[in-house]
C-alpha cells in the first residue's frame, strides 16, 4: 500500500510520514480503523506539496487537528490524513493584543499564553482539548463564548496549493460550524484579545474548570458532546429526559454524568457508537419530537 505514496514522501516532504496508522491512536475517542497514510506537514511548503500530490493522484485526504471531535469508522480511511498537530506551532505577537497563531497550537497553550499577558477572550477553552485549528473550524464554544469572537481571519492553503487569507466575516461562522471552502486547510489564525486583569481571568478559568468537573468529567475516552444543541434546547437534557443515560451498545455507553457524551468503556467500535447514536436520535425524536444532529465529524469506511 505504501509504495504508491512513498516515492513522493522520500523526495519532497520534510515532515514525518506513517503508513497504516490506527486512528484510535489519534482520536480522543480511542476508536477507528487505520488510515493508509498519515502525514505531518511542518510548514506551508510541505502542505502545498502534499495537497498537490493528493490532488494529482486523486487521493482522498482529511485534515486532522487534535482528533477530539472526530469519529473514524472501523474500516479506517483510504487516503491521506494530514495531521496538523505536529507543525504550525508558533504564536507570533503583532502588538499588545493581537497574535498570529499556528493551527497546531494546543488550546491549553494559547490559554496559558493569554493568561500570562493578561489578555481575555479564550478563557472558555479551559478544559477543551484539541488545537486552535480544530477549534476555529468547529467554532468551538462554551458558556456563551465562541472561538469566532477572537478570530480576525484565517490564513489557508487551498486547492492546488494556493495560499490565501479569509477575513472572519467571510468564514461563515455559525454554532459549531464554519464554512471554509472545501479542501481548504487552515494554517494560521489571526486573533485579537482584550486586555484583562489576570487575577479576574484566573477566577473565571477556575469557575469554568469547576463547572466542567461537575458536568463532564466522564472518566472514559470520549469526543465531547455528540449532538449539537437544537435551537433553544439542550441536547443533553433531551437525552436525559428520554431516559437514555447508561444506555449501552457494546462498549459504547451514554454517560451517566453528561447525557450528551458517549463514552468508550473499553473496546467500543465505531459501529457501537453509531448504533447508539441512531437509537438516541430515534428515541429522542419519538419522545420529544426533536431530531438531533451530530456535532462530531464522522469519517472513513464502514
Ligand X SMILES: Cc1cc2nc3c(=O)[nH]c(=O)nc-3n(C[C@H](O)[C@H](O)[C@H](O)COP(=O)(O)OP(=O)(O)OC[C@H]3O[C@@H](n4cnc5c(N)ncnc54)[C@H](O)[C@@H]3O)c2cc1C
> Which stretches of the chain bind ligand X, using CB under 6 A?
28, 63-70, 84, 103, 128-131, 133-135, 137-138, 140-142, 185-186, 222-224, 297
- CA distance linking residue 42 with residue 29, whole number of Å: 25
CB of 184 to ligand X, least distance (A): 6
Among residues 11, 24, 13, 57, the alpha carbon closest in space to that of 273 is found at 24
**Closest by alpha carbon to 294, among 208, 230, 215?**
230
* Rounded distance between C-alpha atoms, residue 127 and residue 106, angstroms: 11
Closer of 33 and 134 to ligand X (Cβ):
134
Between 91 and 283, name the residue whose CB sits nearer to ligand X.
91
Q: Contact 246/270 with Cβ under 8 angstroms?
A: no
Phi, psi of 279 (to 5 degrees): -65, -45
- Closest to ligand X by CB, 195 vs 209, is 209
Cα separation, 41 vs 199, in Å, equals 38
Q: How far is the CB of 69 from ligand X (least distance, A)?
A: 3
Our CA angle for 296, 298, 302, nearest 5°, is 150
Query: Residues for the chain: how many in total?
Result: 302
Examine the residue annotation and report whether 55 is marked as an active-site residue of this protein.
no
* Rounded least distance, CB 115 to ligand X, Å: 18
Least CB distance to ligand X at residue 96 (A): 26
Q: Cell 482539548, residue?
A: 129
The CA-atom distances, in angstroms, between 295 and each of 30, 93, 235 are 17, 32, 11
User: Cβ of residue 207: shortest distance to ligand X, in angstroms?
Assistant: 14
Residue 27 CA to residue 8 CA, distance in Å, equals 26
Give catalytic status of residue 295 as yes or no.
yes
Cell reading at 8: 513522493
> Which is closer to ligand X, CB of 163 or CB of 195?
163
Q: Which of 176, 178, 188, 255 is catalytic?
A: 176
Question: With respect to ligand X, which residue has the nearer C-beta, 68 or 269?
Answer: 68
Nearest to 261 by CA among 271, 250, 247: 247
The CB-nearest residue to ligand X is 134
Task: Considering the candidates 168, 216, 225, 255, report the single residue annotated as catalytic.
Answer: 225
Is 123 a known active-site residue? no
Q: Which of 49, 123, 146, 295 is catalytic?
A: 295
Catalytic residues: 176, 225, 295
Amino acid at each position: 500500500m505504501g509504495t504508491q505514496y512513498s516515492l513522493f514522501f522520500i523526495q519532497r516532504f520534510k515532515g514525518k510520514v506513517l503508513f497504516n496508522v490506527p486512528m484510535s491512536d489519534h482520536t480522543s475517542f480511542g476508536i477507528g480503523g487505520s488510515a493508509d497514510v498519515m502525514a505531518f506537514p511542518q510548514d506551508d511548503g510541505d502542505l502545498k506539496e502534499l495537497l498537490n500530490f493528493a490532488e494529482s493522484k486523486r487521493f482522498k485526504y482529511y485534515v486532522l487537528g487534535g482528533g477530539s471531535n472526530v469519529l473514524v469508522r472501523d474500516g479506517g480511511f483510504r487516503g491521506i490524513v494530514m495531521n496538523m498537530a505536529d507543525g504550525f506551532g508558533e504564536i507570533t505577537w503583532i502588538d499588545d493584543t493581537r497574535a498570529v497563531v499556528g493551527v497546531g497550537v494546543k488550546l491549553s497553550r494559547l490559554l496559558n499564553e493569554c493568561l500570562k499577558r493578561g489578555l481575555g477572550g479564550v478563557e472558555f477553552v479551559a478544559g477543551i482539548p484539541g488545537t486552535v485549528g480544530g477549534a476555529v473550524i468547529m467554532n468551538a464554544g462554551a458558556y456563551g463564548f465562541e472561538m469566532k469572537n477572537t478570530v480576525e481571519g484565517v490564513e489557508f492553503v487551498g486547492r492546488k496549493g494556493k495560499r490565501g487569507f479569509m477575513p472572519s466575516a467571510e468564514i461563515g461562522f455559525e454554532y459549531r460550524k464554519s464554512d471554509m471552502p472545501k479542501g481548504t486547510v487552515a494554517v494560521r489564525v489571526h486573533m485579537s484579545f482584550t486586555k484583562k486583569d489576570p487575577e479576574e481571568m484566573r477566577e473565571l478559568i477556575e469557575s469554568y474548570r469547576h463547572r466542567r468537573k461537575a458536568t463532564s468529567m466522564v472518566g472514559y475516552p470520549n469526543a465531547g458532546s455528540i449532538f449539537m444543541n437544537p435551537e433553544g434546547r439542550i441536547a443533553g437534557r433531551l437525552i436525559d429526559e428520554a431516559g437514555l443515560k447508561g444506555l449501552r451498545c457494546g462498549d459504547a455507553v451514554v454517560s451517566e454524568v453528561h447525557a450528551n457524551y458517549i463514552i468508550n468503556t473499553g473496546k467500543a467500535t465505531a459501529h457501537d457508537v453509531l448504533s447508539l447514536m441512531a437509537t438516541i436520535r430515534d428515541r429522542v425524536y419519538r419522545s420529544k419530537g426533536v431530531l438531533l444532529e451530530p456535532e462530531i465529524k464522522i469519517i472513513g469506511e464502514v
